[in-house]
Structure 1
């Protein structure tokens, strides 16, 4: 399974935003880490940009915690280690996430963290 993100170019405000989007896609495509969402393919037409990426079937960490009201210490430690590993990898490669929040931390089918851009 994959997730598909489609960006309509007519919704992009100016050329600078388009440059920013392309740069973000380039960065995400270059990353290879078990706890970062991988980009499989990018298609661009005159009207849209389509990004095919890894699918995280268990949703985001915000919803996961909200549904359970709490995490066990073991769960929290498990998630925290994986997030720190992903962030360390980014920083080691000169990349700063700038929007790390529970909604951007996803869970795959095995309950492992997948940080999205």
Structure 2
């Protein structure tokens, strides 16, 4: 971790533990220095993204335009020469997949609540002219 890569993000946020990892990114818990609000900070290496960089920039543009109670909010984007930092709403419940595994299974009533939230979010996303294209329990937060 080069300090210069993180210099800009550290002006606004304290970085804490890693709360998620993926193929091209890691997600750290963060805290806004002025408000103390917890956030999730998705950190992506531009070189590792390679040909996916335009797709990520399209995703960022889409997220900037979305505001719905069941869609994770994008608060801030910081781009440096080597990194992209996406500051997102922190969802302390974690991934839907982990929640389901921890409970072994969901009751019909609980599944119905999640299903309504997912359908509401997807209907909104579609109404704004976007499609998610990667819906699965590990891509959804509770």
TM bucket (normalised to shorter chain) is: 0.7 to 0.9
Mapped pair 1:57 → 2:92: yes
Ranked by relative contact order (alpha carbons within 8 Å, sequence separation 6 or more), the top structure is 1
SS at match of 1:59: coil
Larger radius of gyration between Structure 1 and Structure 2: 2
- The alpha-carbon deviation at position 47 of structure 1 amounts to 1.1
TM-score by length of structure 1 reads 0.85
* Residue aligning to 1:4: 41
Q: Structure 1 stretches (4+) deviating beyond 3 angstroms?
A: none
Q: Which has the higher strand share?
A: 2
Between the aligned partners of 1:43 and 1:61, the Cα distance in structure 2 is 28
- The alpha-carbon deviation at position 12 of structure 1 amounts to 2.3
- The alpha-carbon deviation at position 18 of structure 1 amounts to 1.8
Number of aligned pairs? Answer: 105
Q: Deviations over 1:18-75 (max 9, x none)?
A: 2221111110121000000000000001111100000111111111111111111211
Between the aligned partners of 1:35 and 1:106, the Cα distance in structure 2 is 9
Structure 1 unpaired stretches of 5+: 108-117
Structure 2 unpaired stretches of 5+: 1-37
- The Cα RMSD (Å) is 0.9
